[in-house]
Amino acid sequence: YIVDEKGNRVGVLLDWDDYRRLLEALEELEWIEASGAANAFGEVPVPFDKAIEEIERSR
């Protein structure tokens, strides 16, 4: 981790591959959360890339 002049932790330095894996895991967790919310309202969740395609087609 990176510290400031007072020794407070202010950041981290990650290897690019580690960063990508963390980002992918976060996106998957967001998808799971969104799917659960959609299911709670009786809706069918749409993957992000499919939603973008639908939005672009409707323009």
Output the six-digit token pair for 33.
């959360």
Q: Identify residue 58 by its one-letter amino acid code.
A: S
Range in 7-11, 47-51, 53-57 the model is least confident about: 47-51
Whether 40 and 48 have beta carbons less than 8 Å apart is answered as no
Higher pLDDT, 47 or 53: 53
Q: Identify residue 51 by its one-letter amino acid code.
A: A
Alpha carbon distances (Å) from 19 to 25, 37, 45, 48: 10, 27, 27, 21
Secondary structure (3-state) at 5:
coil
> Looking at the predicted structure, is the pLDDT value of residue 28 above 80?
yes
pLDDT of residue 59: 86
